[in-house]
A and B are shown apart, each in its own frame.
Chain A
């Protein structure tokens, strides 16, 4: 059944909390994870903020879903890519992130993106 496995990449491009896209994107990833496809998640642009340590959302009455990204590993979603340029532009380093990720050059993420059957931006 190998040929029926699709490569699906979710691309997180927005900052969390200001809109629902990141959160509902995460919900989509969690469901898709149960279908044993070749899933990956790339964090690009403001999307990298979703992984920032220390987010306290109580004051804005929103669910703090950042930690859910840590659980992805348990759903066998292990391919988490973060764009190095996006981190640099925002004065962030890998140390600032909640989750163990692969920090990659844009060209390398672009190469992996290009191998996908399906790409969904959130």
Chain B
């Protein structure tokens, strides 16, 4: 199951809640303000690094660019909207609004 997170972790517990319930191996995709979580220098970088040990982590490239986020936690993959669609082809979706 693909999990999407659209809230900044500084604003909302969405990411923490998602991580608590997501199964190992499930991909996690950060979109909209959610992408602030995957910055290499941010407070949540260590949470993302831990998550990467069990789950593939993606961030939506246009949302990163819009927010001037260039440096990501190592291992986070970026996708465009077409890559988002590719993930949805493979997985059912759980959007953590």
Choose one: B1, B17, B22; the contact of A13 (CB below 8 Å). Answer: B17
Q: Report yes or no: A119 in contact with B94, Cβ–Cβ below 8 A.
A: yes
- How many A-B pairs have beta carbons closer than 8 Å: the answer is 38
B95 at the interface (CB under 8 A from A): yes
Choose one: B13, B22, B23, B94; the contact of A45 (CB below 8 Å). Answer: B13
> Can you name 30 A-B pairs with beta carbons within 8 Å?
A13-B14, A13-B17, A13-B96, A44-B21, A45-B13, A85-B20, A106-B20, A106-B21, A109-B21, A110-B21, A110-B22, A110-B23, A111-B23, A113-B1, A113-B21, A114-B1, A114-B26, A116-B1, A116-B92, A117-B92, A118-B92, A119-B1, A119-B92, A119-B93, A119-B95, A121-B94, A121-B95, A121-B96, A121-B97, A122-B97
